[in-house]
Amino acid sequence: MKSGTRTVIIGAGIVGLCTAYELLQHGRDVIVLERESTLDGASAGNAGLFSIGHAPLTKPGASWRGLRWMLDSQSPLWIRPSLSPALLRWLWTFHRHCTTDHLERATRTLCALGWRTAQALEHLLDQEGIDCFYRRCGWLDLILDERNLDAAQREGRALARYGYRTDRISGAELRRRDPAYRDEVAGAIHYLDSAILHPGLLLRGLLHAVRAHGGTVRLGCEVAGFARASDGRCIGARLGSGEVVEAGSVVLAAGIWSDPLAAQLGIAVPMQAARGYHLQLEGIGALPQHGGVMHETFVAYNPMGSQLRLAGTLEIGATGRPWMRKRLQMLTAGAQRYLHGIDRAHVTAEWAGYRPCTADGMPVVGPVPTIPGLFIGTGHAMMGLMLGPVTGRILCADICGGRQEIDPELLGVIRPRRLRPSLAA
Ligand SMILES: Cc1cc2nc3c(=O)[nH]c(=O)nc-3n(C[C@H](O)[C@H](O)[C@H](O)COP(=O)(O)OP(=O)(O)OC[C@H]3O[C@@H](n4cnc5c(N)ncnc54)[C@H](O)[C@@H]3O)c2cc1C
């Protein structure tokens, strides 16, 4: 196979593997290069909520709440205090995007992508027979404090104009349907169109599907940089060993680590790593039938086989720091008032990983206008599992020259200044 029709993909997370899968469906030759020898990064360890119709992090008021929480390492969102210019620039840009206008525009785009990504995922699962406990049963926004119910319902109803359905359930009705919930739960908003799944099983199934369709996935293979032709075109990836893997196109899908790789080419993809944790619990008794998010503590829960996964906390700071055990413990503490049996369960696994967060809350997906042959798919923050399948389709269409129906101003690699005032390199 000539390298001209080959695509090299850097990173075997959900974005990299979905892109590989779509390209293989279009008859392309694909090589995925993955630094780790096992797939247990963010794409495998996340909460497994396939929550279509998601709003971005940049909501009005979110930046002020973040600042209040900054000094409290027990809060669900914690920003490690630092005077790093990159962090300060990111915070300022984030703050500038916490507006009603941006929220509306971003939500419209994300809601449209939501329907497309569900279709792409269900097609993939059907075609490849991947069993990852996928259930289109919706997710629950579980609420303890009666006073939060009306606002949560308004938030859900705001999605109705994009076709998303929600249902308000009283605490009594919730417990009648599912005795896993404790008496303290005042009610829930049920986001009916979403799904839950086991992300590790999905990733394993995708890896298998990519290989079965003739794609190559090289694990334990770290990319150190890019190969460029004399005309500036990107023609491959350079490994740490010096080997160059040549290709007609290169996709950078290395999650939070995309930023330093892109910087080698003078491209700014400014992101902050938002670390989150998960705990896998066995023996809580009857598992809840749905997954969801505990409104007041931001802990996500998802029944996976005989176990319950609790996931959450958002800790903004540099990668590679030691785990903060008190933040892991916040998961069980944050779940106890909502679900029975948390205190008697035992922990079978602990995990931490990084969400790649852009300052405007929107992913970066598309070609790099200044470097022919290079494409980027990253910055999906807390929506990467959900947006991975449609991101794969968008990048595949970009590479194969298909027609796009996305808002390039919101998702493109270079955002217009008016949308991203201080984010430019
Ligand atoms: C606690 C938590 C809960 C979450 N819950 C949800 C959820 O319920 N729903 C949802 O939609 N999203 C959720 N997310 C977000 C989601 O997990 C991420 O947005 C998504 O996994 C990002 O996927 P990715 O492919 O961009 O990056 P990653 O999964 O990080 O994959 C990037 C890959 O690139 C590899 N790589 C990096 N550098 C190199 C290099 N130089 N050479 C080769 N390979 C390299 C990495 O090893 C990694 O495997 C959650 C995240 C966390 C942390």
Residue, of 61 and 109, whose pLDDT is higher: 109
Ranges assigned E (strand) in 240-385? 244-246, 249-252, 271-282, 291-294, 299-304, 307-316, 346-358, 364-367, 374-378
Residue, of 175 and 315, whose pLDDT is higher: 175
Please report the pLDDT score of residue 2 as a whole number.
Answer: 57
Q: Whose CA is nearest to atom 21 of ligand 1?
A: 43
Q: How far apart are the first and last CA of the chain?
A: 37
Best residue for ligand 1 mutational test, from 9, 18, 34 (most atoms within 8 Å of Cβ)? 34
Please report the pLDDT score of residue 406 as a whole number.
Answer: 75
- Tell me if 129 sits within 8 A of 401, measured CB to CB: no
Q: Where are the domains of the chain?
A: 3-411
Lowest-pLDDT range of 113-117, 149-153, 256-260, 400-404: 400-404
Q: Whose CA is nearest to atom 22 of ligand 1?
A: 384
Query: Residue 123: pLDDT above 90?
Result: yes
| Residues 3-39 pLDDT 10s | 678 999 999 999 999 999 999 999 999 999 999 999 9
CA 169 from centre of chain: 28
φ, ψ of residue 178 to 5 degrees: the values are -150, 105
Query: Residue 425: pLDDT above 50?
Result: no
Please report the pLDDT score of residue 217 as a whole number.
Answer: 98
Give, as one character, the DSSP assignment of residue 140.
Answer: E
Helix (H), strand (E) at residue 225: strand 223-228
- Tell me if 415 sits within 8 A of 360, measured CB to CB: yes
Q: How far is the CA of 124 from the centre of ligand 1 (A)?
A: 19
Best residue for ligand 1 mutational test, from 239, 252, 382, 387 (most atoms within 8 Å of Cβ)? 382
Query: Residue 287: pLDDT above 70?
Result: yes
Average of per-residue pLDDT values in the chain? 92
Coil, helix or strand at residue 78: strand
What CA–CA distance (Å, rounded) separates 202 from 130?
7
What CA–CA distance (Å, rounded) separates 198 from 173?
27
Please report the pLDDT score of residue 61 as a whole number.
Answer: 81
Q: How far is the CA of 13 from the centre of ligand 1 (A)?
A: 6
**Mean pLDDT of the 255-279 span:** 94
Please report the pLDDT score of residue 25 as a whole number.
Answer: 97
Which of 355, 265, 270 lies closest to 319, judged by CA? 355
Best residue for ligand 1 mutational test, from 241, 351, 380, 391 (most atoms within 8 Å of Cβ)? 380
Please report the pLDDT score of residue 54 as a whole number.
Answer: 80
What CA–CA distance (Å, rounded) separates 282 from 305?
10
What radius of gyration do the chain's Cα atoms show? 21
CATH of domain 3-411: 3.50.50.60
Q: Whose CA is nearest to atom 13 of ligand 1?
A: 382
Lowest-pLDDT range of 52-66, 111-125, 198-212, 403-417: 403-417
Q: How far is the CA of 256 from the centre of ligand 1 (A)?
A: 7
Query: Residue 1: pLDDT above 80?
Result: no
Best residue for ligand 1 mutational test, from 355, 358, 378, 390 (most atoms within 8 Å of Cβ)? 355
Q: Whose CA is nearest to atom 31 of ligand 1?
A: 13
| Tokens representing residue 48 in the block | 């497994």
CB atoms within 10 A of CB 380: 27
Give, as one character, the DSSP assignment of residue 351.
Answer: E
Give the position, in ligand 1's atom list, of the atom nearest the Cα of 11: 34
Which of 313, 311, 315 lies closest to 281, judged by CA? 311
Q: How far is the CA of 167 from the centre of ligand 1 (A)?
A: 31
Give the position, in ligand 1's atom list, of the atom nearest the Cα of 33: 43
Q: How far is the CA of 380 from the centre of ligand 1 (A)?
A: 8
Please report the pLDDT score of residue 71 as a whole number.
Answer: 67
Helix (H), strand (E) at residue 118: helix 100-128
Query: Residue 423: pLDDT above 70?
Result: no
**Mean pLDDT of the 62-91 span:** 78
Coil, helix or strand at residue 164: coil
At residue 421 the predicted structure's pLDDT band, cuts being 50, 70 and 90, is very low
Which of 27, 51, 385 lies closest to 203, judged by CA? 385
Please report the pLDDT score of residue 419 as a whole number.
Answer: 47
| Residues 160-193 pLDDT 10s | 999 999 999 999 999 999 999 999 999 999 999 9
At residue 392 the predicted structure's pLDDT band, cuts being 50, 70 and 90, is very high
pTM above 0.85, yes or no: yes
Lowest-pLDDT range of 185-194, 323-332, 411-420: 411-420
Q: How far is the CA of 358 from the centre of ligand 1 (A)?
A: 13
User: 65: burial class by Cβ within 10 Å (0-12, 13-18, 19+)?
Assistant: middle
Q: How far is the CA of 317 from the centre of ligand 1 (A)?
A: 16
Coil, helix or strand at residue 365: strand
Pocket of ligand 1 (CB under 6 A): 10-16, 33-36, 41-43, 46-49, 222-223, 253-255, 257, 261, 276, 278, 300, 311-312, 353, 355-356, 378, 380-386
CA 375 from centre of chain: 18
At residue 228 the predicted structure's pLDDT band, cuts being 50, 70 and 90, is very high
Best residue for ligand 1 mutational test, from 32, 33, 46 (most atoms within 8 Å of Cβ)? 46
Q: What is the percent of the chain where pLDDT is above 90?
A: 79
What CA–CA distance (Å, rounded) separates 359 from 94?
5
In Å, the largest CA–CA distance within the chain is 69
What CA–CA distance (Å, rounded) separates 317 from 80?
5
Please report the pLDDT score of residue 417 as a whole number.
Answer: 58
Please report the pLDDT score of residue 75 as a whole number.
Answer: 77
Q: How far is the CA of 232 from the centre of ligand 1 (A)?
A: 29
Please report the pLDDT score of residue 372 as a whole number.
Answer: 96
